[in-house]
C-alpha cells in the first residue's frame, strides 16, 4: 500500500493564493443543493407541527442554514403563520426560530 501524503506534499510548491483557492473549493463541495418542497409536503409538515403542539410531542426538524442542513430536536412552542416561522424549544429552555421556507424535513414524534 502506498503511503502518500496527498495534497500536503504539493502545497509547498504552490502559491498561497492557490492553496487558499483550493480550500475554498473544498468548502463549496460540502454545500448541498436546496430543493423547494411541493404543496403536499408542506401540508404534511403542517399536520406534523399541529399534532406535535396538541399532543406535546418532540420533533426532529432538519432545516437549511448557510447552504448546509442543520438538525434540531425539541418541542414546538410557537407558530406564527403570518410571519412564516415556528419556534422549537430544546435543552434547558433554549428556543430556536425556524422559517418555514428553510424547512427540509420533519421527522419522528416521540
Residue 60's pLDDT is 92
pLDDT digits (tens, 9 = 90+) for 67-80: 788 899 999 888 88
Contact 36, 75 (CB under 8 A): no
- Is it the case that residue 1 has pLDDT exceeding 60? no
CA dihedral (109, 40, 80, 100) in degrees, to 10, reads 90
Q: Above pLDDT 90, what percent of the chain?
A: 7
Distant-in-sequence, close-in-space partners of 27: CB < 8 Å, separation ≥ 6: none
- Between CA 31 and CA 58 the distance in angstroms is 28
- Domain 57-107 bears CATH identifier 3.40.50.300: no
Residue 84's pLDDT is 86
Helices (H), 12-87: 16-29, 39-55
- Is it the case that residue 83 has pLDDT exceeding 80? yes
Amino acid at each position: 500500500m502506498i503511503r502518500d501524503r496527498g495534497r500536503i506534499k504539493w502545497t509547498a510548491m504552490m502559491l498561497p493564493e492557490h492553496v487558499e483557492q483550493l480550500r475554498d473549493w473544498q468548502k463549496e463541495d460540502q454545500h448541498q443543493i436546496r430543493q423547494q418542497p411541493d404543496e403536499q409536503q408542506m401540508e404534511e409538515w403542517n399536520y406534523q407541527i399541529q399534532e406535535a403542539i396538541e399532543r406535546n410531542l418532540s420533533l426532529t426538524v432538519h432545516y437549511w442554514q448557510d447552504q448546509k442542513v442543520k438538525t434540531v430536536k425539541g418541542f414546538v412552542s410557537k407558530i406564527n403563520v403570518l410571519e412564516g416561522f415556528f419556534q422549537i424549544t430544546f435543552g434547558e429552555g433554549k428556543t430556536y426560530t425556524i422559517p418555514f421556507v428553510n424547512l427540509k424535513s420533519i421527522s419522528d414524534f416521540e
